[in-house]
């Protein structure tokens, strides 16, 4: 799990994201989404780069509708950075790794 995104669902969301210690980056995605496939390797790199500092999780929006709905996820990929149960940053669409890393670093 360390250094690799964790696949979670609605049932795990509160425990894995809202109750987690430290920042959590959530990738809301779907298997048919082209931009999601483009951002997936970037998310994996971020998970390695921030291992031990930031938890990275992925939520498949086709299989889990409650969590995306709760955070008004209308387009995918949407990445939301949480800390202490609060959504701090929302990034919609493909973003370069450096831009995502800067947003994460701002909350460490």
Exactly one of 36, 57, 76, 100 is catalytic; name it: 36
Least Cα distance to 70 among 3, 7, 18, 4 occurs for: 18
C-alpha distances out from residue 69 to 21, 62, 89, Å:
23, 12, 16
> Percent of the chain, pLDDT > 70?
98
Q: Which of 6, 20, 30, 33 is catalytic?
A: 33
Delineate the domains of the chain, giving CATH numbers in brackets.
6-102 (3.40.30.10)
Q: Using DSSP, state whether 47 is helix, strand or coil.
A: helix
Q: Mind listing the pLDDT tens digit for each residue in 26-63?
A: 999 999 999 999 999 999 999 999 999 999 999 999 99
Asked if residue 1 has pLDDT above 80, the reply is: no
pTM reported for the whole predicted model: 0.95
- Can 33 be counted among the known catalytic residues? yes
Instruction: Count other C-beta atoms under 10 Å from residue 21's C-beta.
Output: 8
Q: How far apart are CA 73 and CA 51, in angstroms?
A: 26
Peptide bond into 77 cis (omega under 30): yes
Give yes or no for a contact between 24 and 43, defined as CB atoms under 8 angstroms apart.
no
Average pLDDT, the chain: 95
Q: What pLDDT band is residue 2 in, cutting at 50, 70 and 90?
A: low
């Amino acid at each position: 799990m360390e250094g690799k995104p964790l696949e979670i669902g609605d049932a795990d969301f509160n425990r894995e994201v809202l109750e987690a210690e430290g920042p959590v980056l959530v990738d809301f995605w779907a298997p048919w989404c082209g931009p999601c496939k483009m951002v997936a390797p970037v998310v994996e790199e971020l998970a390695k780069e921030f291992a031990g500092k930031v938890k990275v999780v992925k939520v498949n929006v086709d299989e889990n509708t409650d969590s995306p709905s709760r955070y008004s996820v209308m387009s995918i990929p949407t990445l939301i950075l949480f800390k202490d149960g609060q959504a701090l940053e929302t990034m919609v669409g493909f973003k370069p790794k450096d831009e995502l890393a800067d947003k994460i670093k701002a909350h460490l």
